[in-house]
Amino acid sequence: MGISPVLWQFLTKWLTTSAIWPAEASTIAPWADALYIFLWLMTVLGVLLVGALVLFFSIRYRKENHPVAVQIEGSTLLEATWTIIPLGIFLFVFVWGAWLYFRIYNPPADAMQVYVVGKQWMWKAEHPGGQHEINALHVPMGRPVQLTMISQDVFHSYSIPAFRVKREVIPGRYTTVWFNATQAGTYHLFCTQYCGTQHSGMIGEVIALTPSDYEKWTQQSTSGMSLAQNGERLFASMGCNACHNGTAAARGPNLAGVYGSKLTLTNGSQVLVNEAYLRDAILNPSQHVTAGFAPIMPTYQGQISEDGLIDLVEYIKTLQTNYRVQQTQVTSQSNQAAPTTPGMVKP
Ligand code: HEC
Ligand SMILES: [Cu+2]
């Protein structure tokens, strides 16, 4: 008696295309599944072992064989065995799980950056080149991609089952997750944190493309301005360059090369300047004042959107020198000065 091939095909297709067992489409997916299958096997083994013993004992020590109950005092050897073996298994699972956790949440240094902003009820992805997409994410295969994510309102959670990654998206704080897609295809994107009435509609597609298709996509969907270029405009229009112009007389610290460096604060502590720190430095400047500077930077809380903050962060990341900062300052000053200069005739 064999299972019909049609039924078998239907079964495997249902398993791999449904949420129960989605395709393994990232480098981490087989590792996550291996741990999952191991836990599942251990559980089944435990159920079978206990079930078999219950059955065996209830037949062997049934009333007809043992009419009078006997008091058993216990066995140290037996107790030690059933303590030490499960302990060993649990510790093994702990080490395996911790190793996997660190692999999933520590992005490699060369990962490509994409920003994700979640809000009720949609996902917006922003690529460094300025490509924006709603409820979709295009990524290249065979390359680590890091998502830096933030919510504009409530808690959300970004989940790509086929990649076996999921991370909370929180208001007020960047969280990150990374993956390396191994198969071209279109995969489900879910919000896995109940976030209001239309939570179930907060879904989308993740499209993994071959490197050349991805290249084509980035060129077709460009908005003409990269995130850093948008940030440069904001930096001038919000007056950041009034204090951060890199000159000796500047009232604010030089921001060129600050990304990735270690800053010493007035309270003596040291901080690594990453995306999260830059964002926080703009919103809560008084909470971590750089050593050697007065706490004069105003807070920009409520004056700038998460998208604007991402642009500014990307701009500061690209700052290697202050040449452009000073250029924009000169142009914005002369633009402002022009109308008030007496006797000047505008062309
Ligand atoms: C009134 C002057 C002033 C303005 C305007 C200003 N800053 Fe600052 N900024 C400072 C000073 C002073 C510090 C150092 C003390 C501190 O950390 O608060 C600083 C610190 C920072 C830091 C922390 C990094 C470091 O090297 O200390 C960042 C990032 C930053 N500013 C970005 C910005 C951005 C972006 C804007 C515009 C939206 C801006 N600043 C506007 C004066 C200013
Ligand atoms: Cu949500």
**DSSP conformation letters of 315-338:** HHHH-S-SHHHHHHHHHHHHHHHH
Same domain, 60 and 164: yes
Asked if omega into 40 is within 30° of 0 (cis), the reply is: no
pLDDT score recorded for residue 114? 94
Structure-model confidence comparison of residues 215 and 242, the more confident one: 215
Question: Is residue 347 pLDDT above 70, yes or no?
Answer: no
pLDDT over 60 at 1, yes or no: no
pLDDT band at 55 (very low <50, low <70, confident <90, very high): very high
Question: What is the reported pLDDT for 192?
Answer: 93
The mean pLDDT value for 317-324 works out to 74
pLDDT of residue 207: 94
How many other C-beta atoms lie within 10 A of the C-beta of residue 165?
Answer: 19
Whether residues 46 and 116 fall in one domain: yes
* Residue 159 sits in the same domain as residue 203: yes
**pLDDT over 70 (residue 345):** no
Query: What's the predicted TM-score (pTM) here?
Result: 0.79
207 with 284, same domain: the answer is no
Among 165, 194, 224, residue at a domain's last position: 224
Please determine, for residue 37, whether its predicted confidence score (pLDDT) is greater than 60.
yes
Which residue among 224, 248, 273 closes a domain?
224
Instruction: For residues 156 and 211, state if they share a domain.
Output: yes
Between the two ends of the chain, the Cα-to-Cα distance in Å is 93
Cα-to-centroid distance, 162 and ligand 2 (Å):
19
Task: Evaluate whether residue 52 is within a structural domain.
Answer: yes
24, part of any domain: yes
CB burial of 99-128 (b: ≥16 within 10 Å; e: otherwise) equals ebeeebeebeeebbbbbbbbbbbbbbbbbb
Top mutation candidate among 297, 299, 322 for ligand 1, by most atoms within 8 Å of CB:
297
Domain boundary among 180, 196, 224: 224
Length, in residues, of the chain: 347
Pocket of ligand 1 contains residue 233 by CB under 6 Å? no
Same structural domain for residues 260 and 173? Answer: no
Q: How many domains does the chain have?
A: 2
Distance between CA atoms of residues 320 and 57, nearest Å:
75
Question: Does the residue 282 lie in any domain?
Answer: yes
Are residues 253 and 309 both part of a single domain?
yes
**Inter-residue contact 181 to 163 (CB < 8 Å):** yes
pLDDT-above-90 percentage for the chain: 41
Same domain, 129 and 266: no
Q: Which amino acid is at 29?
A: A
* Res 183 pLDDT > 50: yes
295 CB under 6 A from ligand 1?
yes
113 contact partners, CB below 8 Å, separation of at least 6: 128, 146, 148
Using 50, 70 and 90 to split pLDDT, how confident is the model at 322?
Answer: low
Are 60 and 112 members of one domain?
yes
Distance 151 CA to ligand 2 centre (A): 9
Q: Is the domain of 218 the same as that of 262?
A: no
Residue identifier of the C-alpha nearest atom 1 of ligand 1: 297
Domain assignment present for residue 5? The answer is no
Does ligand 1 come within 6 angstroms of the Cβ of 239?
A: yes
- Per-chain mean pLDDT for the chain: 85
In angstroms, what is the span from residue 194 Cα to ligand 2's centroid? Answer: 6
Residues 218 and 297 placed together within one structural domain of the fold: no
**Span from the CA of 220 to the centroid of ligand 2 (angstroms):** 29
Residues 140 and 41 in one domain: yes
Residues 6+ apart with CB under 8 A from 271: 262, 263, 265, 277, 288
